[in-house]
Chain A
Amino acid sequence: MTNLELFLQRLTVVSSPDPDDARRRRNLNILLLGLAPLLVLSIVISLFTARSAEGQGSLIILAGSVIMLLGVIVIYLINHYWSGKFSASLFLLLLLLVIAFSDDPEQLSGGRSLFIFIIPIVMASLILQPSAAFIFAALGSIMISAFSISIGKLPNSPAILGYFLVAFVSWLSSRSLEQALGDLRSTNANLDKLVQERTKALTESLTREMIEAGRSEAILNSIADGVVVFDTNWKSTLANPAIVNLLETPFSGIVEHSIDDLLNSDRISAKDRGTLLAMLEKPGQIGESFKMEWGKKTLSVNAAQVYDSAGAQIGTVAVFRDFTREAEVERMKSAFVAMVSHELRTPLNAILGYAEMLKEAVYGPINEKQGGATDRIMTNTQHLLDLVSELLDQAQIEAGKLKIQAAPFAPTELLDAVHGVMDKIAADKQLTFTSEIDPQLPERMNGDSYRLRQILINLANNAVKFTGRGGVHIRLFRRDAAHWGISVRDTGDGIPNDEIPHIFETFRQVDGTTTRQYGGIGLGLSIVKQLVSLMQGEIAVESELGSGSTFTILFPLNNANK
């Protein structure tokens, strides 16, 4: 728009809450604005012609024009600052007045100026309101009737009818125009509302996305794990601050670099580099995580492929964790376990051996009291050895280091070994110690015979420990095509029902009294249960107070524990 158009628009537009009112007031302004130059022109012409012979008429026109111009300005101001309806009515009445003086009564009531009254009628429908056309039709009719009567004529009824017809047509067209505009406005309003809603939703989702992106970034920046994201061409596109410390490489040496650049360092061995690349290439194949040496550090690496919403791979994310301390602790723990295993057992074994030699009179006969003392030394040393063994087993199970090593073995040999240890212990308590093998059991089976022996000796020892009279019986049996089992039955005190669920817990004995009476720290059954689970077996116990307990273990037959 040009400056002139803008100026005219500013001059005519009136702000109003009612859009119809605004439109009407604007229409009135346009009319006034159109009229003003005409009146100015009329004044100028009148000023020139006033000096001529017919100056009298020109002076009247001049005065009329000036009054009209002032009226136009006043109406414009009213229209602009106060009321559209009032100014429109004022303008139309002024127009009627001008019309009334514009010609002689004869011409106005039936001659050439008859239809000049149509102008206010049409205008009223446009600038006041559609139905106002009828008011000005009536006013016009009254005026021409008055003129007719003043010159002694009858009112011009066809002209009056004509006015009302014009008013009717104006009313119809203005009304339909206003309705059409109204419809358009409501459509626009709906559209606006829709656009607003959409805009709001879009803004909200954008804001949310920004907040989430910010949050993700904050999380990424604050976690202690080092994170690097690679695109499909193995160029790193994103990294967090933690990775800088972990890899001891400046940020600029990580982001926007290829993985080969990143790993081209003497801090990592060729073997680890190969494994790491293979893992990143196919995460999950090497295992959940992979530990590698990076300079003096031990890093644990996890990787996952990144997919977009359509399911296409867009890259790989690698997470590095500093495992140096844990690795050191693990090494120290293993070293400690191995040290204790050797350093504690060897002297205990020596004490036991010397006591036995005294007892067996290797160094000459000993008297009864000396024999009793050596017995006490042997029992207590054996206790200590068992404790050490149990603690070491427990430590190994906890560290996940206890491995089940299956190999073919003969059930008879297994029982022979158990008898070798248990016969004497049972005999010392005047208990029977018997065993049987189900003929249905294969002659050679697959399993970890060392651990099976440990389980049997543990259960048998326990049974002997808690049995005062009678004995202990071991049975190896075949349950069905896929399972074999071990049962250890005793004629001891039995276990109270409410204690049965707890007897396999670590460091547990039925009560403090039993601990003092029978010794041990309550690891035996817990270790048995853990060994049984490691062999994919199940252990259960049945017991009746006063008549004894039976421990039953079921294993898969030919279980494939490697």
Chain B
Amino acid sequence: MTQQTAPPVVEMTGISVEFPPVKALDGVDFSLRPGEIHALMGENGAGKSTLIKALTGIHSPTAGTILVDGVERRFTGPADARAHGVSTVYQEVNLCENLTVAENIMLGAEPRLLGGLHWQAMRSQAATHLKRMGLSIDPASSLGSHSLAVQQLVAICRATVGDCKVLILDEPTSSLDTDEVAHLFKVMRALRDEGVAILFVSHFLDQVYEVSDRMTVLRNGGLVGEFATADLPAAELVQHMIGRSMEVLEAAEEVVEHVERPAGATPLLQVVGLGRKGSVQPFDLDLYEGEVVGLAGLLGSGRSELARLLTGADRADVGQTRVAGQPTRLRTPRAAMRHRIAFTSEDRKGEGVVDGLTVRENIVLALQAERGWMRPLPRKQVDELVAKYIEQLGIRPANPEALLRNLSGGNQQKVLLARWLSTAPQLLVLDEPTRGIDVGAKAEIQKLVADLAADGMSVVFISAELEEVLRISHRIAVMRDRRKVAEIDGGGATMDQVVDLIAGGGAK
């Protein structure tokens, strides 16, 4: 199916993009042939979207050449790229919900009549394009009245209006269910067979294996390699994405001592069949005192969603929760706090820090919120508490009155930890506590987690870095495609095992 002989429609050589001091892309080569579906793979921050943005002219590369159809191009932006046949459909549908389907599809290419719009032609042309997508919806209906899946297809439809040689789909399936994904893939294959080159980005390995012909793997801004999908087993792909060979990873492992639980111990938190539609499939999980449970899985595998259901940040549709054996429902973060369950979100900026308040105020926020506004914590107690955590966690600057927005990411994270530790939780759920912080702070946080567990706290630890999860977890729950697929003992687990489980679905 792939036209091996055809010259590439896009050829990028030695592309570098810098956001000083960070090198987001470093000398990456990438080529896309007509009539293929090419998956761009890599973990978060690997440089996938930077590469796409370099191609479409949103970022201008500091080095390298981009050939489109054999002609060197530096597009000035997505509109320019589109005019030369390179269209992009982003993860979030970028359309106007209040306009009609036809208006959305023909936006920017409206047929005109006597200086005005030729509405009839617009609708009939839109209908033709819709038919190509296998969509039977009324072009005159408003876009907002359709499901997200249909909107996604309309977005693709819009991208293919005119002379579309290259179609870039950035996470098109993240909000679609199985049937909708199947429909999308049908459309993608049809476009491919017409000779369109499709660049496909997805975090779902199964889908990548199902639909792509070739893949390019990026890691930390560099090119790992280009592979034919059929020749690359999923486990190997995951290794490429995470980046270290098995031997190195296993050497880095520090086997966690297995804690013997007394027989018949009651789990601190026990969930049975907990799930939420569109978020994570029902799962079971027991959490015990003194144990660190790691959640492993790729981005989008449902790690964070699971954590949110455990802590009341999101409300579960189904399932039961027991805290210390007592049935209960954690419908809000506040309800979880009453059971001494604390949660830090992966979105530190959006859902963690209150950046306009001081370090002191940020640390006492949860404790104070729990007491209610009428019972302020005595100032002396606040000062002691804050001083204690600044000292214990090494928060810099060690100034309780510093505004949080002036702290580095690592220090902000420590302030968040302090906020929750001051509430004396029994269960601490940490979603990506070490993301985007420097190595020193990372090691400190890992050590803190181990110490807390040793003191009897139950910890759920989520990280995109498998190595880190393996190192500090007593038990590891593995997530794939929004499902908990396995639970293994952290002490005996090897990187190999976990990678296999993460890749599981795709390997078949």
A and B bind? no
Binding site for A on B (CB under 8 A): none
Report which A residues bind B (CB closer than 8 A): none
